[in-house]
Every structure is written in C-alpha cells, then in structure tokens.
C-alpha cells in the first residue's frame, strides 16, 4: 500500500478528526482533497492513492463520525454545511489554499458547497455520481441501510453481506473485491466482531431532512464550476444520479466540464474502473496543462 501519515485536526466545535496524508506532488501540482460518501471513510480512496501517491499529494479525511474521527455529541451536526466547516479548518491548518476536489456522493455535495463559497480554492473537481438533483429511488435505497448496525464473525461473512446488498451496484465483483470493500467499510471491534465503521446516528439527519439530498437551489452552483476543469462521473446503473441530470450539469457548467459514464456500475463508481482511471487522468492533465 502507498505510504501515508496519519494526521489529526480539531473541528470548530472541538472534535478530534483524522485524515490520511499521502505525500507527493510538486511544482504546479495541487493536492487532491478526497471527500468520501455518507458511510465511507479515508480508506475508500486506497485504490486511488495506490495509483497516484508520489506523483500527487492526497489528503483523505475521515469526516466526523467515521473511522478514526470522533463521533459528534449532536447527531444533527452530521450535515453537509458542518462538514464544510470541518474541512475549512483542516485546510487552514495545512495551509492549503488550492486543491483538486474529488468527491464521491456526499463528498461531491461538499465539493459543490466549496465551489459555492470558495471557488478560488478549486484547481479542479471530480463529482462522483452526485449532482444538484438526486433521484428518489436512490435516496430511498440509502435510507434502508444507513444506520442499521451490522456485526459479522469474519471478513468473508461481511463481504458476503455486502455482496447480497450491493450486487446490483457492482455485478462483476468477485469475492476478493467484496472482501477489499468490506475492509474499507468495516472494522474489528474489541470483541473480535466485524462491524460497520461509522456512527449509526449519521442516519438521523437523513431521516428528518433527506440527508444527502441537495437543496433545491443547488443548480445555480453549477455556474461556479465554469472555467474550472470538472469531471462528472456517473455509474451507468446509478439510481441516484440520472443521465438527464448529469447531462444538464455539463450544459450548465459548459466549458471545462466532461461527463464520463462508467459501464455496468451503480452508485457509486469505485474510481478504479478503467473508465474512471482514464477520466481522472484526463482531469489531472487538464489541471496541469489547461
């Protein structure tokens, strides 16, 4: 695995939060800020880091309530605007003023909020299977599993449970790929059981407000990406980002935007598919060379 250092920072409301920092980059190469989905964490970007670390610096935070970051006392702080504040504090601590945002699902919503509030920070952006309008079918599916605690006796059992619930999303995955996913999503607890690695209370805002559902006025934010190299990834089988929404995003952004559809994958592409790899490489080339 590519080497990284563990870093910690304090949120504005006093939570000790964790990030992985993969060294790399150099003159003209802004760091990649990798923002994970609702139930995911910094480990989600291991395949990306395996490929890019050294050439690029990757900063991969665990959002509050995930993995090695502290759990919030108030579950209603598990919302995008608070995550944005947390990330702002991390960037200030690291003296990072320009970066490429790589956001999967919820992470993409955070990237959109960055564009809306601090467009000057963005050297480029990848929005992975997320947009200003999210499909009800996908939101309903997310609500069925978020916050439902699971416990398994082994990694293979956890992998099989993932396969059962996600085979429509990744129909081509084999057992080794399901185990790899399990090790990114789960952890061993003190009793030796394999459990999900996030605070189950992240589901509470989702139940009350729709959670990952972007606000109705997020479409105007697309204009903030104009002139910034932007890659929209959409899983061909996605139930969260429709083809029509993805194409409208490209039209709204205009120059600088590209849409890549990842075949035979649902929500969300894992960023290691050949089409995703090529799309990320094109994006980074445009960041470097315009």
Would you say domain 5-146+214-289 falls under CATH 3.40.50.1820? Answer: yes
Contacts with 76 (C-beta within 8 Å, 6 or more apart), sequence order = 204, 205, 208
The owner of tokens 């509050």 is 64
Q: How far, in Å, CA of 65 to CA of 41, rounded?
A: 10
Phi-psi region of 259 (alpha: psi -120 to 50; beta: other; left: phi over 0): beta
**Bigger pLDDT: 212 or 24?**
24
- Which one, of 22, 75, 46, 60, lies nearest residue 198 by Cα? 75
The encoded tokens of residue 290 equal 């315009």
For range 17-35, the mean pLDDT: 94
What would the pLDDT profile of 196-237 be if each residue is shown by its tens digit?
999 999 999 987 754 444 455 799 999 999 999 999 999 999
What would the pLDDT profile of 210-220 be if each residue is shown by its tens digit?
444 445 579 99
Instruction: Please tell me the predicted confidence (pLDDT) of residue 211.
Output: 42
What would the pLDDT profile of 237-272 be if each residue is shown by its tens digit?
999 999 999 999 999 999 889 999 999 999 999 999
pLDDT grade, residue 2 (50/70/90)? low
Q: What angle do CA 137, 173, 138 make, to 5 degrees?
A: 10
- Which one, of 87, 90, 22, lies nearest residue 56 by Cα? 22
Contacts with 38 (C-beta within 8 Å, 6 or more apart), sequence order = 105, 106, 142, 146, 202, 206, 211, 212
Instruction: Please tell me the predicted confidence (pLDDT) of residue 209.
Output: 58
Please state at what angle helix 80-94 crosses helix 106-117, rounded to 10 degrees.
Answer: 70
What would the pLDDT profile of 103-162 be if each residue is shown by its tens digit?
999 999 999 999 999 999 999 999 999 999 999 999 889 988 888 888 999 999 999 999
- Predicted model pTM: 0.96
pLDDT grade, residue 1 (50/70/90)? very low
The overall average pLDDT reported for the chain is 94
Instruction: Please tell me the predicted confidence (pLDDT) of residue 287.
Output: 97
């Amino acid at each position: 695995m590519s080497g990284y250092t563990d870093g910690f920072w304090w949120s504005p409301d006093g939570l000790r939060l964790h990030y992985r920092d993969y060294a790399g980059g150099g003159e003209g190469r802004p760091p990649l800020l990798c923002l994970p989905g609702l139930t995911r964490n910094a480990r989600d970007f291991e395949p990306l880091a395996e490929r890019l670390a050294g050439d690029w610096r990757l900063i991969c935070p665990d959002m509050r309530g995930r993995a090695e970051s502290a759990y919030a006392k108030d579950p209603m702080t598990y919302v995008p605007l608070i995550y944005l504040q947390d990330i702002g504090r991390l960037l200030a601590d690291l003296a990072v003023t320009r970066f490429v945002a790589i956001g999967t699902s919820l992470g993409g919503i955070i990237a959109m909020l960055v564009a809306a509030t601090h467009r000057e920070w963005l050297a480029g952006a990848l929005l992975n299977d997320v947009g200003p309008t999210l499909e009800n079918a996908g939101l309903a599916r997310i609500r069925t599993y978020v916050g439902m605690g699971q416990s398994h006796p082994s990694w293979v059992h956890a992998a099989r449970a993932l396969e059962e619930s996600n085979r429509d999303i990744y129909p081509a995955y084999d057992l080794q790929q399901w185990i790899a996913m399990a090790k990114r999503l789960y952890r061993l607890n003190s009793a030796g059981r394999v459990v999900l690695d996030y605070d189950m209370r992240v589901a509470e805002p989702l139940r009350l407000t729709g959670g990952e559902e972007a606000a109705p006025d997020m479409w105007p934010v697309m204009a903030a990406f104009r002139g910034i190299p932007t890659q929209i990834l959409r899983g061909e089988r996605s139930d969260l980002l429709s083809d029509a929404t993805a194409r409208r995003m490209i039209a709204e952004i205009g120059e600088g935007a590209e849409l890549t559809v990842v075949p035979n994958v649902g929500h969300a592409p894992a960023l290691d598919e050949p089409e995703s790899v090529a799309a990320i490489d094109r994006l980074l080339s445009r960041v470097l060379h315009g």
